[in-house]
Amino acid sequence: MVHHHHDKRHKFFINDNIDILREILKRLDGPSLGVASCVCRLWCTLTNNDDSIWEHLCFRHVSTPPAASVRPMVVALGGYKRLYMVCVRPVLSRLGESERVRKRVWTRHEVQLSLSLFCIDSYERLGGGMITSDASASSLMFLCNPINV
């Protein structure tokens, strides 16, 4: 009598390994994270609610990581996903998508400027400034305008 042994190897499923999935998502660029959020509910939840993924994206090109005191400020102003959408993404798109720009290391001063712009935008949106809720009235709209170099 011959017994057939079925292959009992465990199949690897990325959604069963959240820590590995999170590490993979941290290596994506912004547009790819947007696409990843459409894969399934779990990926959508991670990309929308795990701020560490966006924090990594915001600071992956920084020569020295920002001070620990930056995190509570960014979280209080809406989180790292919002920081990316409001400041980092417009700056990157304005600079262009060349390989040189994507691999360029940001200086401490550039990071401080981005965080300052983020604070200004947040303050205006909270009604602290003279600006209405109209997004086109934001002080940061200049980031969206094309430039001639």
- Same domain? For 63 and 116 the reply is yes
Residues 97 and 136 in one domain: yes
Task: Check: CB of residue 118 under 8 Å from CB of residue 74.
Answer: yes
Q: Is residue 3 part of a domain?
A: no
Residue 27 within any structural domain of the chain: yes
- 5 lies in some domain: no
pLDDT of the residue at 131: 44
Residue 76 and residue 41 share a domain: no
Model pLDDT, residue 137? 54
* DSSP symbols for 42-101: HHHHHHHH-HHHHHHHHHTTBSSPPPTTHHHHHHHTT-HHHHIIIIIHHHHHHH---HHH
Regarding whether 86 and 20 lie in a shared domain, the answer is no
Residues 38 and 61 both lie in one domain: no
Number of structural domains in the chain: 2
Q: What is the pLDDT along the chain (149 residues), one digit of tens a residue?
A: 555 555 566 787 888 889 999 999 998 988 899 899 999 999 999 999 898 899 888 887 776 777 788 888 888 888 888 888 887 777 777 666 556 655 667 776 777 777 777 777 777 777 654 544 454 555 555 555 555 54
Residues 87 and 141 in one domain: yes
Residue 6 lies in a domain: no
75 in the same domain as 22: no
pTM of the full predicted structure?
A: 0.64
Instruction: Assess contact for 121 and 87: CB atoms under 8 A.
Output: yes
Give yes or no: residues 138 and 77 share one domain: yes
Instruction: Verify that 109 and 88 share a domain, yes or no.
Output: yes
Residues 71 and 92 in one domain: yes
pLDDT at residue 14 in the model: 83
Same domain, 107 and 71: yes
At 41 the pLDDT is 94
24 and 83 belong to one structural domain: no
Domain with 21 in it: 15-49
